[in-house]
Amino acid sequence: MTEPDLNRIWVYLSASPLLGLTMTLVAYSLAHRLYLRSGLNPLLNPVVTSVTALILFLLATDTSYDDYFDGAQFVHFLLGPATVALAIPLYQQFNKLKQVWLPVTVALVTGVVVGAFSSVAIARLLGASLETQLSLAPKSVTAPVGMAISEQIGGLPSLTAALVVVTGIIGAVIGSKLFDLMGIRDDSVKGIAMGMTSHGIGTARAFQVSAQMGAFSGLAMALSAFLYSVFLPWLLSITGVLG
Amino acid sequence: MSILRGFLILVLFFLLGESLRLVFLVPISGGILGLMLLTLYLMVTGGVGNAVAGASQALISVLILLIMPGLTEIFFISGKFTGQWLAVSVSLLVGTFLSVVTTLVLLNVLARKLPSGSSNHE
């Protein structure tokens, strides 16, 4: 094959949605494999490695985000049905909640309010734009729900997604040190704190510690996603953050 | 075929949530309303069918893949946040820390009775 031929094929392919879709899938499977090989090292979380690989590829081929998204939108669209799908683990966790709902709900509601407001207040104090402040508010919610909340309240879903991932990784990495420091020994308490802050990434980490910590982390993650989506828009509007 | 039927149920609840949002102008996204409706539906009917469970598991196991396109955008619009990264980092770290500590302290006070294998006496 001669060079002009290759060039023509590239020009054709790079304008078709097929390339963006394929690149997304390739980057994901490579990153996922690397993560498994590393023995599930939280620092090699596949979100970070796959997105980095994808960005490098787009830069190297001089592809604009819009061209890329033409193909990637097919993957992106599935976030909607995937959010609905979270009803199944939520329903299954609710059974566990029956025995402990009062302390867990009180602790989570307080944690959610403190987390959302301190983040918004600090960002505002340090001069971040309203859009950035709003993107920070749902940073502890599992990514699909957090992105949906962000879009709804006027934040930037992509910024929220990035903050969700960073929060998740930080929580998973430093969580256990904080527990030691505070003298927390109960695995169910650790799990609840982990799931509330670090959602899916924290829950995966919690399952590595013990099944009990993982189960409570999953419960807290589901419950806080629910609390955030119901109360955050309302809280932001009554406190005047949302004009 | 059964995964497809499960997927159809998820899409129908998504559509239902989206319609409710538009009709009643609720400030909650259609996907989340769909999630709530499906949870309610499961509680009323008292069980999860294999089809929905399979489709849900398939989607949830690739959540990272699904957020990749949205996440990638952040790199291309990062110019928008010049000068805000310090605010974002401090807010993220301090906000997260405060919320974890609050929750832990409250749980320690309230939750002496959490069912546990490990005990809670210090």
CB contact (8 A) between residue A47 and residue B64: yes
- Residue B2 CB contacts under 8 Å (≥ 6 apart), including other chains: B50, B51, B54
Smallest CA–CA distance from A153 into chain B, residue: B27
- A232-235 CB contacts, 8 Å cutoff, 24+ apart: A232/A112, A232/A116, A232/A137, A232/A138, A232/A149, A232/A153, A233/A149, A233/A152, A233/A153, A233/B27, A233/B28, A234/B27, A235/A113, A235/A116, A235/A117
Q: Mean pLDDT in each 10-residue stretch from start to end of chain A (243 residues)?
A: 76 82 94 91 85 94 91 92 90 77 87 90 93 93 91 92 90 84 87 89 85 86 87 83 65
Smallest CA–CA distance from B67 into chain A, residue: A76
- A99 inside 8 A of chain B by CB: yes
Per-domain boundaries in chain A? 3-77, 88-238
**Is pLDDT above 60 for B115?**
no
Q: What pLDDT shows up at residue A200? A: 85
- CB burial string A124-154: b at 16+ within 10 A, e below: bebebbebbbbbbbbbbbbbbbbbbbbbbbb
pLDDT digits (tens, 9 = 90+) for A115-136: 889 999 999 999 999 999 999 9
Reported ipTM: 0.85
pLDDT digits (tens, 9 = 90+) for B54-82: 999 899 888 889 999 999 998 998 888 88
- B50 inside 8 A of chain A by CB: no
- B84 inside 8 A of chain A by CB: yes
CB contact (8 A) between residue B65 and residue A75: yes
CB contact (8 A) between residue B71 and residue A158: yes
* Pairwise CA distance, residues A174 & A137, whole Å: 21
* Pairwise CA distance, residues A100 & A5, whole Å: 66
Per-domain boundaries in chain B? 2-61
How many beta-carbon pairs below 8 A join chains A and B?
Answer: 310
CB contact (8 A) between residue B71 and residue A196: no
